[in-house]
Amino acid sequence: MKILHTSDWHIGRTLFGRKRYEEFEAFLSWLAETIHQQHIDALLVAGDIFDTSTPSNRAQELYYRFLCRVAASPCRHIVIVAGNHDSPSFLNAPRELLKALNVHVVGRCADEVRDEVLVLHDENGQPELIVCAVPYLRDRDIRSAESGETVDDKGRKLVEGLKDHYAAVGDLAVQTRSELGEEIPIVGMGHLFTAGGKTADGDGVRELYVGSLAHVTSMIFPDCFDYTALGHLHVPQKVGGLETIRYSGSPIAMGFGEAKQQKSICQIAFNSTAASVELIEVPMFQKLERIKGNWDKIQSRMFELSAADYDGWLEVVYDGTEIIGDLRERLEAETAGTQMVILRIKNNRIIDRVLGQTHNEETLDELNETEVFERCLAAHDVPEDQRDELTRAYNEVCESLAQHDRQAE
């Protein structure tokens, strides 16, 4: 059989205030067409379907329309697990209804391990694939807090909790395959940060398990997984150099730091339980470019883009030695009469001189509401074992406000 592995759609994400629904719609349309053309049997989505826990009506519309379109195609199954950006309760709410469309959703760590081990059947009702659909595992899902714990103790328990959870679902998957009497492949799914993972500047990826990242390796995944489909990191990559443990990466550049990155999804073909992996390149639906340098370099590049009738979005980072106080006015003059749109101007020379900061500072337009709240927790030294509960309560407030806004529309 053939499966597609994708993740980190982040539907609803904006870029410096610019809405990107047209991009998301174009990607989902392309993905549905690719599933049809490549005769895909199952689609696996490894978390961060939405960018926030309270997705807008437009984001929800794109999501459900896509699911209906794929459900009506020859693709027999869709398996979706939640990421750290997703609301477990929101994703899980329609899960029983979606099952009728062969869409399987696992929004939170299940009370019973069997609820994360899915047996998928072919058109004749015969089992063809076992999926260990593990969502993003929160601290409280895998670790019990104890008084007197050190940071090292917490990190060790987090890693042990992750490994134990994956071992449990793996053991059950092997047992299930044995009971079925069929030599069918087992695929693992997950949403987490593994050691050595590559990230891109401005991609919004957050460290999920603070203090333990260096110890979360490919060794936590059971040997019984014939392929492991991961989400969270936006750069497409193998884990530990292994062909069959991969991050698909985000299909759309989440920031200008990903502008030159070739996006892709993973197509996995199984011959019995042996997996072969092929990357399918995702088209660019919105041109992005970061121009960085002194004024001469910036002006030269903008002239080249203008001559080529460039119609994309730009981030301009000035880091020359000359102090330019009218940088914005100069750039507006350069883009006048062109199709270029500058979303962000960053004058590092002014920042360094006036604010005494480096070019790595963050601004509010780079963060969503959840990330701002997390910065507040960190700034006030809120203990790690209290952050999950506070974040959950905060998300409930945000969701209530979003529902109020939707009712008012």
**Region 111-133: what's the mean pLDDT?**
93
Query: Helices (DSSP H) in 339-383: which residue ranges?
Result: 348-350, 369-379
Mean pLDDT, rounded, of the chain: 86
For the chain, the structural domain boundaries read 2-281, 288-365, 368-408
Take residue 35 and report the two structure tokens written for it.
Answer: 């599933």
CB 226 within 8 A of CB 183: no
- Answer whether residue 47 shows pLDDT above 50: yes
Identity of the residue numbered 186: I
- Answer whether residue 355 shows pLDDT above 80: no
- Answer whether residue 253 shows pLDDT above 70: yes
Identity of the residue numbered 273: T
Q: Strand (E) positions, 272-395?
A: 274-281, 288-293, 313-318, 341-347
Q: What separation in angstroms does the CA of 11 have from each of 27, 116, 230, 269, 270?
A: 10, 24, 18, 27, 30
Instruction: Please tell me the CATH code under which domain 288-365 is placed.
Output: 3.30.160.720
Write out pLDDT tens, residues 361-404.
455 555 667 777 877 887 777 877 677 778 878 877 876 776 66
Which position has the higher pLDDT, 362 or 170?
170
Q: What separation in angstroms does the CA of 67 have from each of 16, 162, 171, 354, 408?
A: 29, 30, 31, 51, 27
Take residue 90 and report the two structure tokens written for it.
Answer: 């929101």
- Spatial neighbors of 301 by CB under 8 A, at least 6 apart, are 291, 293
The pLDDT of residue 363 is 55
State whether the Cα torsion 220-226-229-235 is positive or negative. positive
The pLDDT of residue 404 is 62
CB 193 within 8 A of CB 209: yes
The pLDDT of residue 187 is 97
The phi and psi torsions of 81 (rounded to 5 degrees) equal -115, 155
**Chain centroid, CA 289 distance in Å:** 21
Nearest to 217 by CA among 292, 267, 163, 273: 163
DSSP, collapsed to helix, strand or coil, labels residue 197 as coil
- Answer whether residue 312 shows pLDDT above 60: yes
Which position has the higher pLDDT, 46 or 199?
46
Take residue 404 and report the two structure tokens written for it.
Answer: 């109020």
Rounded to an integer, what distance in angstroms lies between the CA atom of residue 194 and that of residue 181? Answer: 34
Interhelix angle 295-307/327-335, rounded to 10 degrees, is 20
Which position has the higher pLDDT, 146 or 295?
295
Give percent of the chain above pLDDT 90.
61
Take residue 227 and report the two structure tokens written for it.
Answer: 């392929």
The pLDDT of residue 321 is 84
CB 11 within 8 A of CB 59: yes
Q: Residue 389: count other Cβ atoms within 10 Å of its Cβ.
A: 11
**Region 23-40: what's the mean pLDDT?**
96
The phi and psi torsions of 107 (rounded to 5 degrees) equal -90, -25
Which position has the higher pLDDT, 4 or 364?
4
- Answer whether residue 98 shows pLDDT above 90: yes
pTM of the model: 0.82
* pLDDT confidence band for 26 (50 / 70 / 90): very high
Q: What separation in angstroms does the CA of 363 have from each of 164, 303, 378?
A: 39, 29, 16
- Answer whether residue 143 shows pLDDT above 90: no
Write out pLDDT tens, residues 204-252.
565 554 444 446 788 889 999 999 999 999 999 999 889 999 999 999 9
For the ranges 50-54, 153-157, 391-395, the one whose mean pLDDT is highest: 50-54
CATH of 2-281, one of 1.10.357.10, 3.30.2350.10, 3.90.79.10, 3.60.21.10: 3.60.21.10
Which position has the higher pLDDT, 194 or 369?
194
The pLDDT of residue 269 is 96
DSSP, collapsed to helix, strand or coil, labels residue 97 as helix
H/E element, 332:
helix 327-335
